[in-house]
Each structure stands twice: as structure tokens, then as C-alpha cells.
Amino acid sequence: MTADGEIIHFDNVGLRYGTDREVLSDLTFTLFPSRFYFLTGASGAGKTSLLRLLYLAQRPSRGAIRMFGTDAITMPRSRLPQLRRRIGVVFQDFRLIQHLSAFDNVALPLRVAGHREEDLAAPVRDILDWVGLADRLDAKPATLSGGEQQRVAIARAVIARPAMLVADEPTGNVDPDMALKLMRLFEMLNRQGTTVVVATHDLDLLRKVPDSLIMRLDRGRLSDPTGALRYPPRKPA
């Protein structure tokens, strides 16, 4: 985190795949700690591409990105893992490792970060209990329902207490009750100091987190990075 408190800063960022037109253009915005952001936009607006930039799966074609006080564009590749360990990711398609149990999927970030084996069991059990899967520790992803897989993915994203949680359509595969439950989980995390960025095209979801800030992507351009379009709309002073 920088002295002025920002954790992410995009400056005139653009992204294109190959020689196609830019899928993201002129993105300039700042994310602050302990805030809850929604990233909205129609399908194909570039939400997933922007999230990929946020969780360092992709480098932009142009512009500058600062993350946790570090220039994420020019930093050597060898330092990326350290930065990535500060970011939790919930993928739209969960991306659980199919041959590992729920326990081992959730434990993966801790193992990767070098935690001792004897220190893993308690936090992993706690977090799986927290997402309501205490009795499915040994279950392989294929035997879990969509909602259960989603919760394992969320548990894996938050187990290492990331500074920022990025979630791509986390409620896309679950029923409304489960969607609400997941939002409560994210809010709880957010209250504990994690910056949350949730990409969704479900406008009803925005209503469920009243203090959230909204970023809207329209054909690759960010129309409201300041939070003025938060839902319900902020009344003029």
C-alpha cells in the first residue's frame, strides 16, 4: 500500500489481444483499501479482461499499473508471485484442481506460500466451516454441487487473508439464496479490511451491498470509476 492509501492505480491502461482492436481503453482509476467495488457492464464489455489485469494474469498493452506501491508493468517476473499472494481470486468457472480434495484445494495458497504442514489443518477447517463445508473436507470437486464448488473457490481465495479479493461473476452459478450468502461472506471479509472487487452483470446484487462503489465498463471504457453511479444512485448534494 502506498502512503496515500491506494492499493491499485491504473493510469491510461489499454489492452488488446494480438492485433485486434483494444478490448480495454484509457482506463484510469484508483482502488483504495477496505472498499467494496462492483464492476458492472454488459457481456463482452471487458469485465473479465480488467479482472485479469487486476489479478496479474495479463499484462496491459499500454499504460501504467501500480499495485501495492509497486510498478506492476516493469517489475521482474520473479517478483510476481509475491504480489499475487496478496490477491485472492474467485474465478467464474471456479478453476478448482479436480484431483485434489476440497481441503487440499483450499490449502493450496498456504502451501504455495510456504506455510508449515502442521499449521494448515486448523485454518483450512475453519474457513471451510465458515463457508458451510466442514463436512465436505475430503470431497473432490466433481462430487460437489455448483454452489459448493463456488464456496470452495471462495475459501481458497480468502484463506491466505489477501489484501484484495477479486471475484468474477461469483453468483453466476448459484441460486439467489446462495448468492446472498456469498455476498454476506464478501462483506464480512471486507469489514476485516480486504478490498473486494466483484464483477457482475446482476444489478440486483448491487443493492445487497449498500456501501459499495460501482465501476461500469462499456465497450472497454470505464464510465464511472469514482463511485458516483453506486446503487442506489447517490443523491446530488
Contacts with another protein, residue ranges (CB under 8 A): 55-59, 77-78, 80-82, 84-85, 89, 95, 97, 99-101, 104, 107-109, 111-117, 156, 160
Q: Which residues contact 67 (CB under 8 A, 6 or more apart)?
A: 7, 8, 56, 83
| Choice between 72 and 209, CB closer to another protein | 72
Residue 110 C-beta: closest distance to another protein, Å: 9
Residue 95 C-beta: closest distance to another protein, Å: 5
Distance CA 156, CA 96 (A): 9
Residue 114 C-beta: closest distance to another protein, Å: 5
CA-to-CA dists, residue 144 to 148, 151, 230, angstroms: 6, 10, 35
| Choice between 168 and 214, CB closer to another protein | 168
| Choice between 5 and 81, CB closer to another protein | 81
Task: Report strand pairing: 195-199 vs 36-40.
Answer: parallel
| Choice between 167 and 179, CB closer to another protein | 167
Residue 104 C-beta: closest distance to another protein, Å: 5
Q: Which residues contact 226 (CB under 8 A, 6 or more apart)?
A: 213
Do 16 and 61 touch, CB atoms closer than 8 A? yes
